[in-house]
Amino acid sequence: MADLKKVDPQVFELIKEEEKRQREVLEMIASENYASKAVMEALGSVFTNKYSEGFPKKRYYQGNAVADKIEILATERAQKLFGVPYVNVQPLSGSPANSIVYLSLLEYKDKLMGLSRDFGGHITHGGPLSLSARFFTPIHYELGKDNMLDFEAIEKLAIKEKPKLIICGFTAYPRIIDFKKFASIADKVGAYLMADIAHIAGLIVAGVHPSPILYAHIITTTTHKTLRGPRGAMIMVTKKGLKKDPDLPKKIETAVIPGMQGGPHDNQTAAIAVALKEAATPAFKKYSAQIVKNAKKLASELIKFKFNLVSGGTDNHLILIDLRNKKANGAAAALALELAGIVLNKNGVPFDSLPPYWTSGIRLGTPAITTRGMKEKEMVKIAKWINEAVDEVSGEEMPEDKESRSAYWKEFRNKIKSNKKLASIAKEVKALCAKFPVP
């Protein structure tokens, strides 16, 4: 059979173009990472061809003897790595995994309680227009004035609203999560506690962030991000969860199929199995510790340049920056940084004065650059480049009305593309990246 280059040279060249882009820039989106060659090899394997609707030894299709083995292997590795009695590796990604849990536990219009998206919660935690808000009743807690979790306020809200499900674990919270305190609140009101550890799963298994295993009833996670696997997800039930409801595994399986999905992606399952094996190694623990060291060093360097870090720093892999004191907006800064070879994302910040599409902040993380082997020394350089790039867009005021914003953005994009300072930084970034190969 002919290879990709012969069959579809256009797609082949686009893949090569993306390989080049990933090599030559600093990938600093907190939710991105570089999977190993072994993980990608499994993802592109012949398991792509199989359809395995159902669960091991209970399939609707024939020819699943080997697919059963790979799913059982992935499941057993996850159970051992996280220390839980039940794992489902079939969710296609993080958002479907969360929706599966809601379908398992909640009835129409039941209350679920999570951190507001405006303060770092995920859209699936009751965000506007999401399935979680359209079919259930979202109750949102917020961060305190110090931009940290305010457990006293969270407890008062939970007692008042009595949600059936409380969610902890976030998409833009740079501090340690006290799962024990969340458990105390959930137990007090009789709620299920779900820990969404999509961002910090790798840090947890490596022991550089506390685990929710003793405190949550259900845990969801993606398998990319800090776990450094393929794009995928898992749902776990803890011993505490089984004690509260022994039928949780069955409820989750019913919600997976026929509730939310059909057949799993067996190639994805195979790649997850590989990633879990890698995550059980001493090298992965060392890597995860370095992620946090790099994030802390980068944060301290950014503070020297007078950047306003939400909560004042970081305990994990990500940093959230409020750019209002720099007289910059998130959209302009993110584009300028991309042109400078530093790829991150615009992000809302607590009490943001701009709408979600534009934002007053940016979010960045260290998982991918740490995978390349960068350490504290490189963080000093990166902080300097970030400061120089943001300086180039300082004073870019976002118009208040929608029509004016569109015109402003079109003009800004055309202008910023020819910025010589950003082009100069990009050359320096490229030179640094050449010293740290991607997997």
**pLDDT tens for each residue of 37-69:** 999 999 999 999 999 999 999 999 999 999 999
* pLDDT at res. 398: 82
Instruction: State the DSSP code for 239.
Output: H
Q: Verify whether residue 51 is a known catalytic residue.
A: yes
Counting every residue written for the chain, the total comes to: 439
352 assigned to active site? no
Span 271-330, pLDDT tens digits: 999 999 999 999 999 999 999 999 999 999 999 999 999 999 999 999 999 999 999 999
Report the pLDDT averaged over residues 170-192.
97
Mean per-residue pLDDT for 352-366? 93
Task: Report the SS3 class of residue 121.
Answer: coil
Q: What is the mean pLDDT of residues 371-384?
A: 98
The answer to whether the bond into 258 is cis (omega within 30° of 0) is: yes
Q: Which residues of the chain form CATH 3.90.1150.10?
A: 289-433
Question: Checking phi first, is residue 86 left (phi over 0); if not, alpha (psi -120 to 50) or beta?
Answer: beta
CATH number of 42-279: 3.40.640.10
Write the CA distances from 236 to 88, 95, 97, integer angstroms: 6, 15, 10
**Residue given tokens 């820990």 in the structure block:** 195
- pLDDT value of position 240: 98
DSSP 215-229: T-SEEEEESSGGG--
What's the pLDDT band for 341 if we cut at 50, 70, 90? very high
Evaluate whether 230 touches 268 at the Cβ level (below 8 Å). yes
Q: Which residue is catalytic, options 75, 124, 220, 222?
A: 222
β-strand pairing of 192-196 with 218-222:
parallel
Known catalytic membership, residue 13: no
Would you state the pLDDT for residue 300? 98
Supply the pLDDT for residue 138: 96
Instruction: Establish whether 231 is a catalytic residue.
Output: yes
Average pLDDT, the chain: 96
Taking only the tens place, the pLDDT of each residue in 102-160 is 999 999 999 999 999 999 999 999 988 899 999 999 999 999 999 999 999 999 999 99
For the question of residue 53 being annotated catalytic, the response is yes
The average pLDDT across 390-419 equals: 88
Q: CA-to-CA distance for 411 and 409, rounded, in angstroms?
A: 5
Catalytic residue among 225, 240, 297, 346: 225
pLDDT above 90 (res 401): no
Q: pTM, whole model, 2 decimals? A: 0.95
Give the CA radius of gyration of the chain: 22
What confidence score (pLDDT) does residue 2 get?
66
Confidence at residue 267, expressed as pLDDT on a 0 to 100 scale = 98
What pLDDT is attached to residue 156? 98
Return d(Cα 14, Cα 19) in angstroms, integer.
Answer: 9
**Chain CA centroid to CA 230, Å:** 13
Catalytic residue among 53, 68, 110, 338: 53
Q: Is 222 a catalytic residue?
A: yes
* Pairwise CA distance, residues 234 & 204, whole Å: 15
pLDDT tens for each residue of 64-96: 999 999 999 999 999 999 999 999 999 999 999
CA dist 231 and 357 (Å) reads 24
CB atoms within 10 A of CB 266: 24
Task: Calculate mean pLDDT across residues 263-268.
Answer: 96
The H-or-E segment that residue 140 falls in is strand 137-141
> Which pair of tokens denotes residue 38?
């072994």
Buried b (16+ CB within 10 A) or exposed e, 320-333: bbbbbebebbbbbb
> Is the four-CA dihedral 261, 266, 268, 274 of positive or negative sign?
positive
Cβ atoms of residues 39 and 271 within 8 Å: yes
Please tell us whether the domain made up of 289-433 is placed in CATH 3.40.50.2000.
no
According to the model, what pLDDT value does residue 1 have? 55
What number is the average pLDDT over the span 371-379?
98
Over residues 330-352, mean pLDDT = 96
Q: 128 or 242: which carries more pLDDT confidence?
A: 242
Q: Residue 234: beta bridge partners?
A: 221
| Angle, CA 186 vertex, CA 182 and CA 190 arms, to 5° | 170
Distances from the Cα of 333 to the Cα of 184, 194, 295, angstroms: 40, 34, 19
Spot the catalytic one: 27, 71, 196, 253. 196
Q: CA 88 → CA 32, 34, 101, distances in Å? A: 23, 24, 11
Which pLDDT band, with edges at 50, 70 and 90, does 24 fall under? very high
**Strands 111-115 and 137-141, sheet pairing:** parallel
Catalytic site residue from 32, 110, 118, 231: 231
Q: Region 375-394: what's the mean pLDDT?
A: 97
Catalytic choice (32, 51, 324, 381): 51
Residue 400 has pLDDT above 90, yes or no: no
CATH 3.40.640.10 range(s) for the chain read: 42-279
**Helical residues (DSSP H) of 44-130, grouped into ranges:** 65-82, 94-105
